[in-house]
Amino acid sequence: MITLFHHPKTRSSRLIFLLEELGAPYEIKLVTIRSRDGSGAIDPANPHPHGKVPALTDDGETVFETSAIALYLTDKYRTTPMGPLPGEPTRGEYLSWLAYRPGVLEPALICRRFGVQHVFGAMGWAPADEVEEVLNAHLADRDYFLGTAFSAVDILVGGGLKFMMMAKMISETPTLQAYTARITDRPAFRKVMG
Ligand SMILES: N[C@@H](CCC(=O)N[C@@H](CS)C(=O)NCC(=O)O)C(=O)O
């Protein structure tokens, strides 16, 4: 049985959205986390090594890091396929964008928000304006990250983009607005995030 360790209004909400789309049975265990204002504490019940969310347990396995959890779930639970398997078309793209979210997109936008100067050759991500260009160019002629197929990448990246635009962390271009609308119009998004 899948158990998702969750805290409201955090990255773990996106995994509830994914679990709903997958149609996999799951339970949610609410845990406390440390907050930006200094309040909150790590919950001893949370198996994440840093006490963060999301974390997930399933059949004796513990999985942490949002993208790793998404890949684990979409490989294993296939009632409604939400990502290509090894050997299927677009698998490479799927892995790339899953890794891009925490490895490039998030650090770039967070650095810009906190006024951290980008250093080429030292930082493993790219400057935020370049990331915006890449996202807009990629999504200009595609409905979803993998083309016509909606996948877990759209849940992790697309769902996040909506909130980043609301927080003015990324520009609201027509391309990104149209793309995020396709994600946020989904019944599972409305059920979980609405
Ligand atoms: N790289 C992690 C980030 C996880 C993360 O930072 N989660 C936040 C909530 S959105 C958290 O648990 N914060 C509490 C803390 O930093 O201790 C992932 O993508 O899963």
CB 22 within 8 A of CB 192: no
pLDDT at site 163? 86
Instruction: Please provide residue 84's backbone torsions phi and psi, each rounded to the nearest 5 degrees.
Output: -70, 145
pLDDT at site 194? 66
> Is 47's C-beta closer than 6 angstroms to any atom of ligand 1?
no
- Residue among 55, 1, 57, 54 at smallest CA distance from 24: 1
Confidence of residue 160 (pLDDT cuts 50, 70, 90): confident
Distance 142 CA to ligand 1 centre (A): 30
Instruction: Please provide residue 51's backbone torsions phi and psi, each rounded to the nearest 5 degrees.
Output: 70, 20
pLDDT at site 130? 98
How many angstroms separate the CA atoms of 64 and 72, rounded?
10
DSSP codes of every residue in 157-181? IIHHHHHHHHTTSS---HHHHHHHH
CA dist 179 to 45, 53, 97, 99, 120, Å?
37, 26, 15, 20, 30
Is the pLDDT score of 177 beyond 80?
A: yes
By most ligand atoms within 8 Å of CB, the mutation choice from 53, 73, 98, 100 for ligand 1 is: 53
**Tokens (6 digits) for 180:** 């995020």
Query: Residue 50 CA: which ligand 1 atom is closest?
Result: 17
Distance 47 CA to ligand 1 centre (A): 13
Instruction: Please provide residue 9's backbone torsions phi and psi, each rounded to the nearest 5 degrees.
Output: 60, 40
Within 10 A of 54 (CB to CB), how many other CB atoms are there?
Answer: 25
Strands (E), the chain: 2-6, 26-30, 55-58, 61-64
The tens digit of pLDDT for each residue in 112-157 reads: 999 999 999 999 999 999 999 999 999 999 999 999 999 999 999 9
**Tokens (6 digits) for 80:** 């409604």
- The pLDDT mean for the chain works out to 96
By most ligand atoms within 8 Å of CB, the mutation choice from 13, 17, 33, 73 for ligand 1 is: 33
DSSP type of residue 27:
E
Distance 141 CA to ligand 1 centre (A): 32
